Amino acid sequence: MLLNSDTTCCSLTSSYLGVSFSHCSEMKVKLGSPHYRPGVYTFSFFGQPMTATCDRDGWTVIQSRGQHGNSPDYFIRDWADFKDGFGVPGQ
């Protein structure tokens, strides 16, 4: 799932280099190209910490799917696993 500046579903906040932002696109604009760094950041999601990946284009990735060397049945899980999260952010 990707979030951008048009997404209003969530209350996300984070900071990097002393700059507060609510999504990666906003961070990219506020910091400018020389200082924007794609990577994994911790956001506050309705008061709870959550990791998300900021991609090079400024998208906030909160869920990505791919095998990434995992077994073919990697995504056959019960609801609790999806609710609680699994895998490694950024991979």
pTM above threshold 0.85: no
* Residue pair 23/12 in contact by the 8 Å Cβ criterion: yes
Measured CA to CA, the distance from residue 12 to residue 10 in angstroms comes to 6
List pLDDT tens digits, range 36-79: 889 888 887 777 888 888 898 989 887 777 667 777 788 889 99
